[in-house]
């Protein structure tokens, strides 16, 4: 089945550091990938839609300058948390959909990145 790889799985860094998270579709091409954030015991909240070759679209309340998204190829999207602060600590998850199999294929998720800002 479709596989989405996310790296790194865990990051611990000091306040003010910028952190880059990679999301790759391993066996299919994804023109669109999605970035979610999950706080403990809460739902996954969509942050932004990453579009290959164009700008990402952000959900209401998500700072685009804080969470930079680049979708440079059909298999890779990156999320950079710029100048991270403790309140940015969270579980970040990406997903992708294999449009080559038709419009109703489900999103497949990476294993997430646990970001901890000290």
In sequence order, what are the beta bridge partners of 9? Answer: none
Residue of 46, 62, 68, 74 that binds other proteins (CB under 8 A):
46
| Per-position x/- string for 70-109, each x denoting binding to other proteins as judged by CB under 8 A, each - no binding | ---------------------x-x-x-x------x-xxxx
Supply 23's token pair. Answer: 């999301």
Residue with smaller CB distance to other proteins, 19 or 110: 110
The answer to whether the CB of 91 falls within 8 A of the CB of 112 is yes
What is the three-state SS of 40-80?
Answer: CCCCEEEEEEEECCCCCEECCCCCCCCEEEEEEECCEEEEE
Could you list the residues that contact other proteins (CB under 8 A)? 4, 6, 9, 32, 34, 36, 42-46, 49, 91, 93, 95, 97, 104, 106-112, 114
């Amino acid at each position: 089945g479709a596989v989405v790889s996310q790296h790194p799985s865990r990051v611990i860094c000091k306040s003010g550091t910028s952190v880059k998270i990679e999301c790759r579709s391993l066996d299919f091409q994804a023109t669109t990938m999605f970035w979610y954030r999950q706080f403990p015991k809460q739902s996954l909240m969509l942050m932004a839609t990453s579009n290959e070759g164009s700008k990402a679209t952000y959900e209401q309340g998500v700072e685009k300058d804080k969470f930079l998204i680049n979708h440079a190829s059909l298999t890779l999207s990156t999320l950079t948390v710029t100048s991270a602060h403790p309140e940015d600590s969270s579980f970040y998850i990406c997903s992708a959909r294999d449009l080559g199999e038709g419009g109703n294929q489900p999103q497949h998720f990476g294993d997430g990145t646990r970001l901890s800002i000290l």
